[in-house]
C-alpha cells in the first residue's frame, strides 16, 4: 500500500509490543546490549553464539526476507567475538560472522546485504576444517559500508572512511578516505578538519530522538481511523 493507514494508537501499541519483545527475547541473546536499542522486525533477527556485544542506541533493521545475522563460532583455537559500538546502524540482510574477533566502532553504518567475516573457513590445502584461517577485523569509528560490501578477514578500516557499494575489501583502508572496487582501492580523500555530523548527533538529547519520532507518527496519522484501516485491510484500492 502507498500509505500506512494504521491509527496512531495501533502504531503506538505495536511499537511498545516490539520494545517488549526486544527486551524479553532479543536482549538475552547478547552478552551485552546497551540502552535504547531500536530493532525493526526483531523476530527475523538471527543471533547465534556467545560474546556478542552492542553499545547504546543500536539501530538494527531486520526483515523476514533479509534477516540480520550475527554469528560467533567456537573452535579449538578459541571463541569468536563481535563488538558493536554506540550509535551504530545495521541494515537488512547484513551478515557478521566471527571465529576470532570483529570490532565495529561507534557511529558506524552498515548498509543492506553487507558481509563481514574474519575467517576463510577452509584452508587452501586443508579444506576439511578452518585451521589458521582467521584474522581479526576492525572497523573504526564512523565507518560507512555501502550496500553489498564484503569485508574479508584481517582487514582494518580507518575512522570516518566510506566503502562504496558492492566493493570487496581485502586489505587495510586508511582513515578519512572513500574506497571502492574489487579489490577496494582509495578513490578520494576526505578532509579530516571539516566538521562531520555523526549518528550520535541524533541522540545528543538522550532518548529525545525516539520521542520525536512518536510525535511525528502522531502528526502523520492524525487523519487515520480504525474503520478506514480495517476497510483497507479487507479491500485495498489503488488509492490506498
- Structural domains in the chain, CATH included, are 1-30+204-234 (no CATH), 32-195 (2.160.10.10)
Residue 97 CA to residue 19 CA, distance in Å, equals 26
Residue 221 CA to residue 21 CA, distance in Å, equals 24
The rounded radius of gyration (Å) of the Cα atoms in the chain is 20
122 catalytic per annotation: yes
Q: Quick one: pLDDT at residue 1?
A: 59
Q: pLDDT tens digits for the chain (240 residues)? A: 578 888 888 888 998 999 999 999 999 999 999 999 999 999 999 999 999 999 999 999 999 999 999 999 987 767 899 999 999 999 999 999 999 999 999 999 999 999 999 998 888 888 877 667 899 999 999 999 999 999 999 999 999 999 999 999 999 999 999 999 999 999 999 999 999 999 999 988 877 777 788 888 888 888 888 888 888 888 887 776
Residue 145 CA to residue 111 CA, distance in Å, equals 6
Q: Are strands 82-84 and 150-151 parallel, antiparallel or unpaired?
A: unpaired
φ, ψ dihedrals at 34, nearest 5°: -70, -170
Q: Are strands 38-40 and 59-61 parallel, antiparallel or unpaired?
A: parallel
SS3 72: strand
**C-alpha 43 chain-centroid distance:** 15
Q: Quick one: pLDDT at residue 208?
A: 77
Of 32, 48, 63, 122, catalytic:
122
Q: Quick one: pLDDT at residue 131?
A: 66
Amino acid at each position: 500500500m502507498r500509505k500506512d493507514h494504521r491509527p496512531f494508537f495501533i502504531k503506538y501499541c505495536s511499537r511498545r509490543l516490539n520494545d517488549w519483545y526486544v527486551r524479553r527475547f532479543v536482549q538475552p541473546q547478547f552478552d551485552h546490549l546497551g540502552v535504547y536499542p531500536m530493532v525493526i522486525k526483531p523476530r527475523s533477527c538471527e543471533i547465534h553464539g556467545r560474546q556478542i556485544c552492542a553499545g547504546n542506541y543500536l539501530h538494527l533493521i531486520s526483515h523476514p526476507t533479509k534477516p540480520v545475522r550475527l554469528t560467533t563460532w567456537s573452535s579449538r583455537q578459541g571463541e569468536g567475538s563481535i563488538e558493536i559500538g554506540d550509535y551504530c546502524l545495521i541494515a537488512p540482510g547484513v551478515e557478521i560472522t566471527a571465529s576470532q574477533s570483529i570490532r565495529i566502532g561507534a557511529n558506524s553504518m552498515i548498509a543492506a546485504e553487507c558481509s563481514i567475516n574474519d575467517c576463510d573457513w577452509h584452508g587452501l590445502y586443508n579444506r576439511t576444517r578452518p585451521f589458521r584461517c582467521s584474522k581479526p577485523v576492525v572497523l573504526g569509528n564512523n565507518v560507512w559500508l555501502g550496500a553489498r560490501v564484503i569485508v574479508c578477514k584481517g582487514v582494518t578500516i580507518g575512522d570516518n572512511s566510506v566503502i562504496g557499494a558492492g566493493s570487496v575489501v581485502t586489505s587495510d583502508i586508511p582513515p578519512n578516505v572513500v574506497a571502492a572496487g574489487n579489490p577496494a582501492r582509495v578513490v578520494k580523500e576526505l578532509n579530516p578538519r571539516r566538521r562531520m555530523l555523526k549518528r550520535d548527533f541524533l541522540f545528543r538529547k538522550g532518548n529525545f530522538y525516539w520521542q520525536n519520532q512518536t510525535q511525528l507518527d502522531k502528526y502523520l496519522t492524525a487523519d487515520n481511523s480504525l474503520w478506514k484501516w480495517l476497510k483497507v485491510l479487507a479491500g485495498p484500492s489503488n488509492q490506498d
